[in-house]
Structure formats: structure tokens, C-alpha cells
Amino acid sequence: MRLRWRLAWLLTYPLAKAFVNLRVEGRENLRGCQGGLIIAANHTSNFDPLILGWAAAREIYFLAKEELFRYRPFAWLIRAWNALPVGREGIDIRAIRLCSRVLKHRQTLVLFPEGTRSKTGGMGGFRRGVGMLAIINQVPVVPTHIAGMDSSFISYLVDRDFVRLGMRKKPAGCGRIKVRFGAPVMPQGFKRERQGYEQLTALIEERVCALAG
């Protein structure tokens, strides 16, 4: 972990526990993974990458829609914290290459395989890109579930598009946000082809659903 990430985490994590009411389970499942790693999580808020950075206690890289990189100085800010641009239509080959580069440099990549935030808090189907990246780069995937974000005051503040749609209500209090990391899913044994990508993705989705249960 780079020094600025370590300092930022040390300074802000106590605040996250106190004011965001963040609780973490299963962090030991990350410690056993040396080298490149994918964290695959459900997605309900724009704040999810920051929550996962706190919960994982390690430097992370994550994808952000390319439209966000058009606005300065916001583009500089998210790049400084390891955001990678991705197109929202079709398969973005450049994003796949960027993700593979991160993994080959033994870093941690956060993916939200649903492809977009859930308006209702329920989980949508996973796209096969997570399985493809794991198999091509031969890295483990840690299934992860974030609970409570969609009904939190944080989401009410940062997901204003959902608030306007009536999908986020102002909460009465500060609810708990819980992140659960599951046991790593290994890519060995899955074929490097579409069927293998889909099979591994289905297994990861099943594990994330189990964590939600």
C-alpha cells in the first residue's frame, strides 16, 4: 500500500466506524491472497468504492464511468484515487486491458459485476467480465456483499439521482453499513472461453448472494 493510501486509511477509518457505522466481517479472506486480487461486490451507491477501500484496509483500483473523467478537477481527484475509466456501452477493450495491468502488478481490483447501481437495493445479474478477468489473469475473486448502504444517510447524500426518483428516502437515523468478505473463489479449472467465463461468474454471483442471506 502506498504511503498516502496508508495515511488516508489510518486517519479516516476510525471516522468511518464512528460516523458511517461501518462494520466489517471476513477481512481475513483478503489477507490470505498474495498478488493480484479481484473484489466482486454488489452495487447500490456511488459511495461503494470508498466503503470497500475502508473495509478492505488496502489500496484498491476501481472502474468509473468515463463521463466522470470529463469534469476537472473531479477527474484529477478520482484518478488520484485509482479510478479507471470504462465505457458503458458494449465491451470496453481499453478498460479490460487497464484492469489486467492492475492485476499483473499484483494490485487489488474492485468490480461491481452488475454493471450499474441497484435502485432498490436488490441484486441484479452479474456480467461475465468478472469471470473473464479472473480466468485470463489467473487471480482469485473474493465475493463481497455490502448491506445497508441503500437505506443509509450516506446514500441519501451522494445518490441524488435516486433521491429525485424517490428511490432513496431520508433515513430517521444512522443505520449500520456492513461489508462481508467471503472465501476466495479460484479460477483454476474454468476454461478460457465464454462458457468458462459464464460458469465462474455464476459461481461468484451465487457466493455474493449467500453472503447477503
CB within 8 A of 152, min separation 6: which ones? Answer: 20, 45, 171, 174, 175, 177
Query: Does 191 map to a domain?
Result: yes
H/E run at residue 147: strand 141-147
Query: Does 78 map to a domain?
Result: yes
Query: Does 156 map to a domain?
Result: no
Contact by Cβ (8 Å): 134, 207: no
Query: Does 80 map to a domain?
Result: yes
Domain that holds residue 72: 3-146+174-212
CATH number of residue 30's parent domain? 3.40.1130.10
The total number of structural domains in the chain stands at: 1
Q: How many CB atoms lie within 10 A of CB 34?
A: 8
Query: Does 153 map to a domain?
Result: no
Query: Does 100 map to a domain?
Result: yes
Contact by Cβ (8 Å): 151, 145: no
For every one of its 213 residues, what pLDDT tens digit does the chain have, with 9 covering 90 and above? 678 788 888 888 898 888 889 999 999 999 878 889 999 999 999 899 999 999 999 999 998 877 767 766 656 667 777 888 877 665 678 888 999 999 999 999 999 999 899 998 899 999 999 999 999 999 999 999 999 999 999 999 999 999 999 999 999 877 899 999 999 999 999 999 999 999 999 999 999 999 998
pLDDT at 68: 67
Q: What is the pTM of this model?
A: 0.91
Contact by Cβ (8 Å): 178, 23: yes
Q: How far apart are CA 181 and CA 177, in angstroms?
A: 13
Query: Does 92 map to a domain?
Result: yes
